[in-house]
């Protein structure tokens, strides 16, 4: 059983196939006329795929350090040496690091060639691999270099998640929890492939409505302002999804203080996070002033203090929040 979800972008629309074992469908989703594939992956990803055409495997290092212009140059040079041309395809097989790097390579090699990915982490399946945001880091900050470059197809093979280390699984489940509040409803009642498909459906709809992140796409950052602040402050043993979970619990507290949601809805946030065994409390040692200062530096802030908050019309970016409300709400997640 698999789900086929369309990311509707007119003549650049593409399918996302979700299900157990869907990597075996790879040859059927490659664009027509492809002769060769540059298959970008990492050494420790224990899954192989068969594109059904001649392919060159290129491995990149593990972790955020792989998201660098040096790695992009190395990969492009290997592709040039092996004769990958404009009509060929970049295939990323891995988590968000691989799909971000491979997608960016596809965006810039020969001024842009086609890109397909097989997402093998939960975070990549429900988030990173869908929507065309690609890029690498600079020493000055994460994801500062990049391009919007939509794939031609994405395969989310939930079988590959069986080998994911538990901490990486938790990182993805924090994003799954987020989708509950973006219209997903009771996702925790579904099995894993159905959960992934439901998340992809929401992300696909948001991306189709706002491909270049001019407005609505900001809702995908629900819970991320506090999460980024905790991550920027550094030194805490939390996965991204765990930081997002704390950020979601906090966003609910801010929304309640602004009269946007009631106590029952805050309790619903807590129930969902608890159902996934996700944390809801800020780690000890992070001061209010430090956190609020970091909120203002969040690159998603539009004018000063903007947070994505739940409310009567669903989750939306809200600007001009009184800093005293932000500080009071921090106390509720300590
Ligand atoms: P990751 O890509 O680093 O993968 C985590 C680890 O799991 C790696 O060591 C990887 O080799 C390994 N791995 C991957 N698949 C595996 C499998 N099936 N079995 C065993 N091990 C496996 O981490 P991630 O959480 O997938 O992605 C994080 C990155 O995604 C960040 O750089 C973030 O900026 C980016 N991201 C991008 C977007 C976007 O829209 N482009 C959205 C969210 C996150």
How do residues 112-149 score in pLDDT, each as one tens digit? 999 999 999 999 999 999 999 999 999 988 999 999 99
CA angle 183, 187, 188 (to 5 degrees): 145
CA of 120 from ligand 1 middle (Å) equals 8
Q: Look up 20 and say whether it is catalytic.
A: no
Enumerate the H helices of 15-150 as residue ranges.
26-29, 69-81, 96-108, 122-123
Which atom of ligand 1 lies closest to the CA of 131?
A: 40
In whole angstroms, what is the distance from residue 173 CA to residue 205 CA?
20
Q: 62: pLDDT confidence band, cut at 50, 70 and 90?
A: very high
Domains: count for the chain? 2
Residue 144 shares a structural domain with residue 230: no
Return the residue whose CA atom lies nearest to atom 40 of ligand 1.
Answer: 128
Which atom of ligand 1 lies closest to the CA of 42?
A: 11
Residue 23 shares a structural domain with residue 122: yes
Domain that residue 306 falls in: 215-333
Q: Look up 111 and say whether it is catalytic.
A: yes
CA of 94 from ligand 1 middle (Å) equals 7
Q: Helix, strand, coil % (nearest 5) of the chain?
A: 50, 20, 35
- pLDDT digits over 255-281, tens only? 999 999 999 999 999 999 999 999 999
Q: Which of 146, 164, 182 is the last residue of a domain?
A: 164
Residue 152 shares a structural domain with residue 33: yes
* Model confidence, pTM: 0.96
Is residue 81, in this structure, part of any structural domain at all?
yes
CATH code of residue 278? 1.20.1090.10
Q: Residue 124: CB within 6 Å of ligand 1? A: yes
Q: Look up 175 and say whether it is catalytic.
A: yes
Phi and psi (nearest 5°) for 223? Answer: 85, -5
Active-site hit among 240, 256, 260, 269: 240
In whole angstroms, what is the distance from residue 83 CA to residue 56 CA?
10
CB atoms under 10 Å from CB of 80, counted, come to 12
Q: Residue 62: CB within 6 Å of ligand 1? A: yes
Is residue 137, in this structure, part of any structural domain at all?
yes
């Amino acid at each position: 059983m698999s789900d086929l979800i369309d990311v509707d972008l007119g003549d650049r629309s593409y399918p996302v196939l979700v299900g157990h074992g869907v990597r075996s469908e790879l040859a059927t989703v490659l664009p027509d006329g492809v002769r060769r594939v540059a298959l970008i992956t990492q050494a420790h990803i224990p899954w192989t795929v068969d594109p059904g055409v001649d392919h060159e495997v290129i491995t990149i290092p593990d972790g955020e350090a792989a998201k660098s212009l040096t790695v992009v140059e190395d990969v492009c040079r290997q592709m040039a040496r092996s004769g990958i041309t404009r009509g060929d395809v970049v295939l990323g097989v891995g988590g968000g690091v691989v799909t971000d790097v491979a997608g960016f390579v596809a965006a810039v090699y020969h001024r842009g060639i086609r890109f397909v990915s097989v997402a093998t982490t939960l975070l990549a399946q429900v988030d990173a691999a869908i929507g065309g945001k690609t890029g690498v880091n600079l020493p000055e900050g994460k994801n500062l270099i990049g391009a919007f470059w939509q794939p031609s197809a994405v395969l989310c093979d939930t079988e590959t998640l069986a080998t994911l280390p538990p901490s990486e699984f938790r990182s993805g489940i924090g994003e799954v929890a987020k989708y509950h509040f973006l219209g997903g409803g009771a996702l925790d009642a579904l099995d894993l492939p159905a959960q992934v498909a439901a998340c992809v459906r929401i992300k696909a709809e948001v991306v189709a409505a706002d491909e270049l992140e001019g407005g609505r796409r900001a809702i995908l950052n629900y819970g991320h302002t506090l999460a980024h602040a905790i991550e920027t402050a550094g030194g805490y043993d939390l996965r991204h999804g765990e930081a997002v979970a704390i950020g979601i619990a906090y966003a609910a507290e801010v929304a309640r203080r602004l009269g946007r949601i009631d106590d029952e809805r805050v309790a619903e946030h807590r129930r969902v996070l608890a159902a996934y065994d996700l944390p809801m409390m800020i780690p000890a040692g992070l001061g209010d002033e430090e956190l609020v200062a970091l909120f203002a530096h969040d690159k998603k802030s539009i004018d000063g203090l903007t947070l994505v908050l739940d409310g009567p019309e669903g989750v939306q970016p809200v600007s001009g929040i009184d800093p005293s409300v932000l500080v009071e709400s921090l106390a509720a997640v300590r």
